[in-house]
C-alpha cells in the first residue's frame, strides 16, 4: 500500500527538546496529519533514540495515528546520509541533499549500503543537480526521494513521497 511519507525531519531540533513528551508528539502528529501525511521518518542528527521514543509514544498513547519510522542523519565522508530503521531489522540509507555540502565526486561514496537519494529538499533545491541525481539513481538503482528536512514543525510535509514501505524494504535487502 502506498503511503504519503516525509522521510527526513528534525522534530527534536524543531522543538529544542530531545526527550519528546506526549504534548510535543501530539503536535508532530497533528501537523503531519494536517498535511495529509500517513507517516514520518524521524531523523535527528546522530540520535536514533529520539525517533524510537516518538514512535513508542505514538504507538502507546496515540493509537498508532501516524506511521513513525525511527532514523537518524549521519555523515559518510563529506555526505549526509539519512538512515531509516524499517520493520524486520532492515536498514535503508539515502543521500540527503546531494550537492550540499558541495562534493566534487559524490558518486565515489555510493556503494551497496546506499539505497536512495534525495532529489528535492526545500532548503537545498538550488544546490541539487537534478540531471546528475537522475543519472546516478538510474545507474545505481536508487529510489529518488523528496523530503522536507524540516527544522521547524511548520515545515513538516513540505515535500513527501508516495511510496510503499515494502518497496523501501525490498531495495534495502
Query: Which of the stretches 67-75, 105-113, 116-124, 158-166 binds Zn ion when contact is defined by CB under 5 A?
Result: 67-75
Nearest approach, Cβ of residue 127 and Zn ion (Å): 13
Say if CB 58 and CB 93 are below 8 A apart.
Answer: no
Query: Which of the stretches 64-72, 102-110, 141-149, 161-169 binds Zn ion when contact is defined by CB under 5 A?
Result: 141-149
Nearest approach, Cβ of residue 96 and Zn ion (Å): 5
Check residue 6 for interaction with Zn ion (CB under 5 A): no
Check residue 44 for interaction with Zn ion (CB under 5 A): no
E strand or H helix at 36: none
Nearer of residues 20 and 121 to Zn ion, judged by Cβ: 121
Residue facing Zn ion at closest CB distance: 149
The separation between CA 95 and the C-alpha centre of its own chain, rounded to angstroms, equals: 10
Tell me whether the omega of the peptide bond preceding residue 101 falls within 30 degrees of 0, making it cis: yes
Residues 98-127 that bind Zn ion (CB under 5 A): none
How far apart (Å, rounded) are the C-alpha atoms in residues 168 and 173? 9
Check residue 149 for interaction with Zn ion (CB under 5 A): yes
Q: Which of 61, 31, 37 is nearest to 152 (CA)?
A: 31
Q: What is the CA radius of gyration of the chain?
A: 15
User: What is the binding site for Zn ion (CB under 5 A)?
Assistant: 73, 149
Amino acid at each position: 500500500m502506498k503511503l504519503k511519507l516525509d522521510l527526513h525531519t528534525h522534530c527534536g531540533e524543531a522543538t529544542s527538546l530531545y526527550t519528546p513528551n506526549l504534548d510535543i508528539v501530539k503536535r508532530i502528529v497533528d501537523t503531519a496529519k494536517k498535511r495529509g501525511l500517513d507517516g514520518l521518518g524521524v531523523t535527528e542528527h546522530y540520535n536514533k533514540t529520539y525517533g524510537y521514543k516518538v514512535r513508542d509514544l505514538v504507538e502507546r498513547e496515540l493509537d498508532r495515528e501516524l506511521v513513525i519510522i525511527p532514523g537518524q542523519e549521519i555523515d559518510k565522508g563529506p555526505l549526509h546520509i539519512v538512515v531509516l530503521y524499517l520493520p524486520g531489522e532492515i536498514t535503508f540509507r539515502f543521500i540527503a541533499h546531494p550537492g550540499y555540502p558541495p562534493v566534487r565526486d559524490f558518486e565515489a561514496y555510493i556503494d551497496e549500503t546506499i539505497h536512495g537519494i534525495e532529489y528535492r529538499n526545500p532548503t537545498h533545491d538550488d544546490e541539487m543537480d537534478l540531471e546528475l541525481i537522475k543519472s546516478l539513481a538510474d545507474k545505481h538503482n536508487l529510489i529518488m526521494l523528496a523530503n522536507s528536512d524540516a527544522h521547524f514543525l511548520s515545515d513538516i510535509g513540505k515535500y513527501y513521497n508516495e511510496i510503499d514501505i515494502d518497496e523501501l524494504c525490498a531495495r534495502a535487502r
